[in-house]
C-alpha cells in the first residue's frame, strides 16, 4: 500500500543508523512517524526521546546524529533539522516525483479484497414518525462507514433494524382510529411516514388534555399519567397485537406499510441503501432460549423468579434479562439478534452498531453478556457511538412535533442552493432539468458533509445556512473545486491524451526537466500520497471525519495552486502536462473521498 511507501524506505535507514551509531538492533515497531508541524520545515518527524537510553546522549545530540546518518545514506532525504528532541526530515523532490510516476502506473485508490466480512447497522427508525435530523447523522455516518470499509477491501452488509412494534406504534394507531376518518397518504397528499407521525403528535395532545382533566378531578399527576383513557386504549391495543388479534394486526400492517413507503422515498433521495432488513416484530422473540441456556450453565442467576446477569466484576451493575413472568427485555432480543446475524452470515468478522451515545451503557452490557456466553466473535462487536445534533432553534421533541423533519431539512438546503446558484451566470447554459439535478446534488452534499466532518463522538450544531457556503469548509466548496478541475481539463483538449480520469497521468514521466517542485505542487502531491493512509485510518477508527477533512485540505491546497500557478498558460509542455496530470489526480482522489462520504460530485457547476 502507498501509505507504507515512504516508511518502507525510512525504516531500514533508521535501523542502520541505530546499528552503526549505537550498536543497537532497533525494532521497526518502535519507530513512530508523524507529519511535521506546519511551523517547522519538514515532511516527517521522529521523536527521539524514547531512544535516549540507547544513544546515551542528549535529545538534540541524538537527533542530530541520526539525521546526519540518514541524510548521508538515503537519497530521498534532502535535509533535516532538529527541534529539541524531534528530528524533522525533508523529503527530496525526487521522491515526490517518483511517487507521481508510480501513482500513474498503479491505482493507489484500489485496495485488494481482504476476505473480511463486516455488517454495519444504521438508521433503525421507529415506524411511528418520519425520519428527522437525528436520524440523518446516524444514516450518513453508517452509510459512509460502510463505503469506507468497502473501499479498503471488506465485504460489507448494510443492515437496518426497523422498530415496528411497541406502545409508540400503538399510540399512532389509536389516534388514527379515533380521529383519522379513514385518511390515507393518497387522500391527504402526505407521505405515509408523515401521516402516521401526524397521529403520533395528535395522540400526545389528547393525552396531555386528559391528564389535565384527571388532575382537575382530583387525581395526582402520576395517577393521571397512568390512567388517561387514550393511554389505556393504546396499552390494550398492544396486548391485542401480542395476542395476534386479526383486526389490530391488519391496521398495524397497513399503517406500517405507509411508513415504509415514506422511508424508502427519503432513503432514495438520500442515496442510501440496505442489504438486509430486520424487523423488531420478528426479532423480539429471540434471545429467550439463549438466556435460559446461560442460566443452566451458571452464566446468569435467578432471583425472585427473574433471570439476572451480574456485571459488577466488570464495573457495571446487575441487570434483568428475563422478567419473572418470562417476558423479555430489550437486552434479551439484542442478544438473540446478534447471535442470529452470525448464524446467518458465516465468516462475519465484525458487527458495527451505529447508535447514539445515550445507548453507550446498553452496548457495554450487551458485549459483556455475549462474551460470557462464550461467543468469540463478541470481541469484534463495536458500538459506533455519536453525539446528538442540535439546531440554532434548540432541542427537538418528537411527541410535540418539534423535530426537524429530514425531508424538510433537505428541501430547505436544496432551496438555499437553488437561490445561490440562480445568481451565477455560469449556469446560464444549464437546462431546467440540469439545474434541478445540480441543486439537489449540492444540497445533499451540504447536509452530508456538514454532519460527517465533525468527529462522531462530539455533539454538534447543524447550521443549514453555513452548510451551503461555497467559500467555507463545506461539501459544496469541495464539489465546486472538483467541477473547476473538470472544466480545466475539458479546456486542455490537446493534453487530454496524457491525462487520465484516474490516477494515471504519468506525472513523473512528464516532468523530465528535473527542476524543483513548486511549493504548491509539493503540497498537493504530499496530500495525494497520504490519501491511502487516511482512508485506511478512517476504516480502522470508523471515523469519516478523518476522510472528510483530508478531502477539504486537498481541494484547499489545489485552489491555492490554481490561483498562483499557471496551468493552461504554461509554455513549457512538460510542466503543463505535469500540472494537468496533477489536476486529474486531485479530481480522482476527491471523487473517491466524496463517494466514501456518500456524496456525488458534479462535472459542471
Q: Are residues 438 and 537 in the same domain?
A: yes
pLDDT above 90: percentage of residues in the chain: 80
The answer to whether 451 and 464 are in contact (CB under 8 A) is no
Per-residue pLDDT averaged across 428-441, rounded? Answer: 92
Give the pLDDT mean for 232-251: 97
Average pLDDT score over residue span 293-300: 96
Q: 587 with 458, same domain?
A: yes
| 429 and 561 both lie in a single domain | yes
Q: What is the pLDDT of residue 131?
A: 94
Of residues 346 and 402, the one with the higher pLDDT is 346
430 within some domain: yes
Number of other residues whose CB lies within 10 A of the CB of residue 364 = 15
Cell digits for 318?
446487575
**Which residues have C-beta within 8 Å of that of residue 121, sequence separation ≥ 6?**
142, 159, 160, 161, 351, 352, 353, 354, 355
Distance, in Å, from the CA atom of 547 to the CA atom of 352, rounded to the nearest integer, reads 19
Tens digit of each residue's pLDDT (9 = 90 or more) over 470-519: 889 999 999 999 999 999 999 986 555 544 443 444 444 445 455 689 99
Q: Are residues 191 and 69 in the same domain?
A: no
Query: Do residues 214 and 84 share a domain?
Result: no
Is the same domain home to 430 and 521?
yes
Q: Do 468 and 586 belong to one domain?
A: yes
Buried b (16+ CB within 10 A) or exposed e, 240-260: bbeeeeeebeebbeebbebbb
Strands 155-162 and 117-121: parallel
**CA–CA separation, 495 vs 472, rounded Å?**
31
Please give the torsion angle defined by the CA atoms of residues 489, 492, 493 and 495, in that order, rounded to the nearest 10 degrees. Answer: -90
Q: What is the pTM of this model?
A: 0.91
Which residue segment(s) compose the domain that 570 sits in?
406-596
Q: Are residues 584 and 480 in the same domain?
A: yes
- The pLDDT, as a whole number, for residue 483 is 95
Residues 65 and 171 in one domain: no
Look up cell 535507514; give the residue.
13
pLDDT, position 333 = 95
Q: In which band, very low, low, confident or very high, does the pLDDT at 291 lie, cut at 50, 70 and 90?
A: very high
Helix (H, G, I), strand (E, B) or coil at 602: coil
Q: Is the pLDDT of residue 104 over 90?
A: no
Please list the residues that pair with 91 across neighbouring strands: 77
Position 392 scores a pLDDT of 75
- Distance, in Å, from the CA atom of 420 to the CA atom of 417, rounded to the nearest integer, reads 5
CB atoms near residue 155 (< 10 Å): 17
Residue at which a domain ends, from 61, 91, 121:
91
Asked if pLDDT for residue 110 goes beyond 90, the answer is no
Question: Has residue 158 got a pLDDT over 80?
Answer: yes
Give the separation between CA 202 and CA 600, rounded to whole angstroms: 38
261 assigned to some structural domain: yes
* Dist. CA 370–CA 381, nearest whole Å: 10
Q: For residue 303, tell me if it sits in a domain.
A: no
Evaluate whether residue 211 is within a structural domain.
Answer: yes
Q: Name the least confident of 83-92, 187-196, 236-245, 385-394.
A: 385-394
Q: Answer yes or no: are the C-beta atoms of 447 and 409 closer than 8 Å.
A: yes
Alpha-carbon radius of gyration of the chain: 29
Q: Which of 241, 273, 305 is the last residue of a domain?
A: 273
Give the length of the chain: 605
Both 587 and 471 in one domain: the answer is yes
Work out the pLDDT band at 1, boundaries 50, 70, 90.
Answer: very low
For residue range 555-581, what is the model confidence (pLDDT) as tens digits?
999 999 999 998 998 888 889 989 999
Chosen domain end from 225, 248, 273:
273
Are 195 and 65 within one domain?
no
Q: What pLDDT band is residue 398 in, cutting at 50, 70 and 90?
A: very low
CATH number reported for the structural domain that contains residue 11 in this entry: 3.30.1360.70
**Backbone phi and psi for residue 598, each to the nearest 5 degrees, phi listed first:** 80, 25
- β 306-310/77-83 pair status: unpaired
Q: Is residue 311 part of a domain?
A: no
CATH assignment of the domain containing 500: 1.10.730.10
Asked if the structure places residue 435 within a domain, the reply is yes
Cell 469506507, residue located = 148
Q: How many domains does the chain have?
A: 3
8 Å CB contact between 516 and 528: no
Q: Which of 466, 341, 493, 327 is nearest to 391 (CA)?
A: 466
Query: What pLDDT, in 10s, does the model give residues 63-77?
Result: 999 999 999 999 999
Same domain, yes or no: 419 and 551? yes
φ/ψ (deg, to 5) at 132: -130, -175
Amino acid at each position: 500500500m502507498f501509505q507504507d511507501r515512504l516508511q518502507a524506505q525510512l525504516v531500514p535507514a533508521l535501523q542502520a543508523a541505530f546499528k552503526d551509531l549505537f550498536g543497537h538492533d532497533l525494532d521497526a515497531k518502535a519507530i513512530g512517524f508523524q507529519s511535521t508541524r506546519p511551523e517547522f520545515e519538514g515532511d516527517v518527524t521522529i521523536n527521539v526521546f524514547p531512544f535516549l537510553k540507547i544513544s546515551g546522549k542528549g535529545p538534540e545530540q541524538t537527533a542530530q546524529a541520526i539525521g546526519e546518518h540518514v541524510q548521508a545514506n538515503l537519497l530521498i532525504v534532502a535535509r533535516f533539522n532538529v527541534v529539541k528532541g524531534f528530528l524533522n526530515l525533508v523529503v527530496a523532490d525526487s521522491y515526490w516525483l517518483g511517487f507521481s510516476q508510480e501513482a500513474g502506473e498503479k491505482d493507489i485508490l484500489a485496495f485488494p479484497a481482504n476476505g473480511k466480512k463486516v455488517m454495519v447497522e444504521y438508521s433503525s427508525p421507529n415506524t411511528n414518525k418520519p425520519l428527522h435530523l437525528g436520524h440523518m447523522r446516524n444514516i450518513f455516518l453508517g452509510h459512509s462507514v460502510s463505503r469506507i470499509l468497502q473501499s479498503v477491501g471488506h465485504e460489507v452488509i448494510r443492515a437496518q433494524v426497523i422498530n415496528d412494534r411497541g406502545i409508540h406504534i400503538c399510540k399512532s394507531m389509536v389516534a388514527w382510529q379515533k380521529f383519522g376518518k379513514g385518511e390515507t397518504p393518497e387522500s391527504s397528499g402526505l407521505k405515509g411516514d408523515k401521516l402516521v407521525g401526524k397521529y403520533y403528535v395528535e395522540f400526545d395532545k389528547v393525552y396531555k388534555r386528559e391528564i389535565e382533566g384527571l388532575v382537575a378531578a382530583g387525581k395526582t399527576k402520576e395517577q393521571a399519567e397512568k390512567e388517561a383513557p387514550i393511554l389505556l386504549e393504546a396499552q390494550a391495543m398492544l396486548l391485542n397485537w401480542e395476542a395476534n388479534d386479526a383486526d389490530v394486526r391488519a391496521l398495524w400492517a397497513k399503517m406500517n406499510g405507509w411508513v415504509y413507503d415514506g422511508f424508502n422515498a427519503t432513503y432514495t433521495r438520500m442515496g442510501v441503501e440496505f442489504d438486509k432488513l430486520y424487523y423488531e416484530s420478528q426479532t423480539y422473540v429471540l434471545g429467550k432460549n439463549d438466556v435460559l441456556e446461560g442460566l443452566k450453565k451458571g452464566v446468569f442467576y435467578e432471583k425472585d423468579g427473574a433471570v439476572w446477569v451480574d456485571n459488577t466484576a466488570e464495573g457495571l451493575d446487575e441487570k434483568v434479562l428475563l422478567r419473572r413472568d418470562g417476558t423479555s427485555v430489550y437486552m434479551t432480543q439484542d442478544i438473540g439478534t446478534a447471535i442470529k446475524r452470525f448464524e446467518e452470515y458465516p465468516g462475519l468478522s465484525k458487527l458495527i452498531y451505529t447508535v447514539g451515545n445515550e445507548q453507550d451503557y446498553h452496548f457495554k452490557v450487551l458485549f459483556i453478556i455475549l462474551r460470557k456466553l462464550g461467543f468469540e466473535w463478541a470481541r469484534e462487536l463495536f458500538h459506533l457511538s455519536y453525539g446528538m445534533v442540535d439546531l440554532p432553534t434548540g432541542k427537538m421533541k418528537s411527541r410535540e412535533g418539534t423535530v426537524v423533519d429530514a425531508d424538510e431539512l433537505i428541501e430547505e438546503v436544496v432551496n438555499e442552493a437553488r437561490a445561490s446558484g440562480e445568481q451565477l451566470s455560469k449556469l446560464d447554459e444549464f437546462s431546467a432539468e440540469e439545474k434541478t439535478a445540480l441543486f439537489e446534488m449540492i444540497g445533499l452534499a451540504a447536509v452530508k458533509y456538514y454532519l460527517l466532518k465533525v468527529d462522531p463522538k462530539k455533539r454538534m450544531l447543524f447550521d443549514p445556512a453555513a452548510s451551503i457556503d461555497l467559500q467555507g469548509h463545506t461539501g459544496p466548496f469541495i464539489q465546486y473545486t472538483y467541477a473547476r478541475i473538470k472544466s480545466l481539463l475539458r479546456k486542455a483538449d490537446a493534453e487530454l491524451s496524457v491525462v487520465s480520469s484516474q490516477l494515471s497521468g504519468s506525472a513523473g514521466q512528464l516532468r523530465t526537466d528535473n527542476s524543483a517542485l513548486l511549493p504548491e505542487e509539493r503540497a498537493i502531491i504530499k496530500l495525494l500520497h497520504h490519501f491511502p493512509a487516511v482512508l485506511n485510518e478512517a476504516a480502522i477508527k470508523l471515523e469519516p471525519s478523518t476522510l472528510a477533512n483530508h478531502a477539504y485540505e486537498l481541494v484547499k491546497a489545489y485552489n491555492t495552486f490554481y490561483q498562483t500557478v499557471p496551468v493552461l498558460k504554461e509554455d513549457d509542455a512538460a510542466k503543463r502536462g505535469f500540472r494537468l496530470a496533477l489536476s486529474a489526480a486531485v479530481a480522482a482522489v476527491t471523487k473517491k473521498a466524496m463517494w466514501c462520504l456518500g456524496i456525488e460530485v458534479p462535472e459542471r457547476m
